[in-house]
Amino acid sequence: MALLPNIFLIGAQKAGTTAIAEWLFANGVCNPEAFGNDGPEPYAKEAHFFDHDFRFKGGIDYYTKRYQHCTHDNNVEYIMDATPETLFQSKRVHNFYEQVAPGSAASLKIFIILREPVAREMSLYNHKASEFKRTQDMEAWFSNVADDDGNVMSFDEYTTQLKYYAMPFFSWQVTGFYVNHLREWIKWFDREQILVLSYDEVQNNPEMVEWRISQFLGKQFTGKLPRANVRGDAPVTKEKRTLPKQAGKFLIPLFHDKNEELYEFLEAHPGPPMEQHPFPRFEEYSLEELVE
C-alpha cells in the first residue's frame, strides 16, 4: 500500500531547500514520482499538490500516486514532500491529513529554512531571469521577470511589480513575511512539530544542520550537505553585496519590521530542543549599501 508523506520541507523558496532535499533523498527518504505532464523537474522533489487546486481536487488518489513506490515492503520509513509553496497551505495540509486519518496530522514533521528576505528576493529574481533567458517562455511561472516585449527587466524594474507586498490584503502571499506564515502553521500544528532552520547555518555550518535534522527525525543520516563558500580547504572571500537603489528603498523597510516580529515570535514560541535558540538575526541590508 502506498504511503503519504510524513515529512514536509515547506520552504522557503531559494533558501537551500534543494540541497537539503537531495541529501535526505540520497539517504533513503522517499521522494515523489513525476508522471504525466509533471516531470521530471522539479516534480521529483516537489509534489505541488497542496498549492495547485487542480491537483488538490484529485484528492488522496492523486497524491498517493505520486508516492506509489513508497511502501513498507520497500522498507520506507520517511517520505517527503519538499514543495516550498506549501508554506502558504498550513490549513489545507492539516485538514487533508485529518480527513484521511483523524489524528494523523499530529505525527507530521515539518521544517522550514529562513533566509534574509531581501537576498532571497534577489536570488529568486536571478533564477527567474536565468530561466526566462533559457526558455523565452512567456507563459511560465517565471515570466513576470520579462516586460511585454520579452526583455528581462532589471531588478529595480522587477521590484516595481512587488508594490502590492505593502498592501495588507496581499501580505499573506509574501514569502519573506515569515512570521505571518509561522503564526498560521502553529494554529494547526504543535510548535514541536516544526523545526526552523537558518539559511546562514546551512551555508556556513552544514554539519550542525545535519545534526539538527537527524535529531528532529530521530535517525542518523550519512553523507554531507554541500558546504557553501568553500573551495578545497580554503574559504572563499565573500564579495561585497550590492543592492540597486530603487529596489532597496522599497524592500529594506518593507521586511525590517517583519523580521523584528519574527525574532519576537520565535522567542515567545520556542521549537523542538535541537532548534537554534535564540534564532540568529539576519544580516540585513542597509540603505548605505545601495548602489545606483
Residue 258, CA distances (Å) to 171, 175, 176, 255, 277 in order: 11, 11, 8, 5, 19
| Residues 15-28: tens digit of each pLDDT | 999 999 999 999 99
- The predicted pLDDT at position 238 comes to 38
What angle, rounded to 10 degrees, do the helices at 117-135 and 245-268 form? 130
Lowest-confidence range among 34-38, 81-85, 155-159? Answer: 34-38
- The predicted pLDDT at position 226 comes to 73
| Residues 220-263: tens digit of each pLDDT | 998 888 765 444 444 433 334 678 888 999 999 999 999 999 99
What percentage of the chain has pLDDT greater than the value 70? Answer: 89
- The predicted pLDDT at position 164 comes to 75
Of the pLDDT bands very low, low, confident and very high (cuts 50, 70, 90), residue 2 is low
Cα 166 to its chain centre, rounded Å, is 21
Cα 33 to its chain centre, rounded Å, is 20
Give the residue-averaged pLDDT of 202-224: 95
Lowest-confidence range among 43-47, 113-117, 279-283? Answer: 43-47
The secondary structure of residue 233, as a DSSP letter, is: T
Lowest-confidence range among 14-23, 93-102, 221-230, 266-275? Answer: 221-230
Three-state DSSP at 210 gives helix
Give the residue-averaged pLDDT of 87-112: 97
Report which residue type is found at 65.
K
The secondary structure of residue 200, as a DSSP letter, is: H
Which residue is it, cell 565573500? 238
DSSP H helical segments within the chain, as ranges?
17-26, 53-56, 59-66, 90-100, 117-135, 155-160, 178-188, 199-204, 206-217, 245-268
The mean pLDDT value of the chain amounts to 88
First to last CA, the chain: 59
| Residues 167-197: tens digit of each pLDDT | 776 777 889 999 999 999 999 999 999 999 9
Residue 178, CA distances (Å) to 144, 181, 262 in order: 23, 5, 7
Which residue is it, cell 505520486? 66
Choose from 157-161, 162-166, 275-279 the range with maximum mean pLDDT: 275-279
- The predicted pLDDT at position 207 comes to 95
pLDDT: is 267 or 229 the higher one?
267
Of the pLDDT bands very low, low, confident and very high (cuts 50, 70, 90), residue 37 is low
Give the residue-averaged pLDDT of 92-114: 97
- The predicted pLDDT at position 239 comes to 39
Which residue is it, cell 537527524? 214
Handedness of CA 110, 119, 19, 273 (dihedral sign): negative
Query: Using CA atoms, how far apart are residues 208 and 173, in angstroms rounded to an integer?
Result: 31
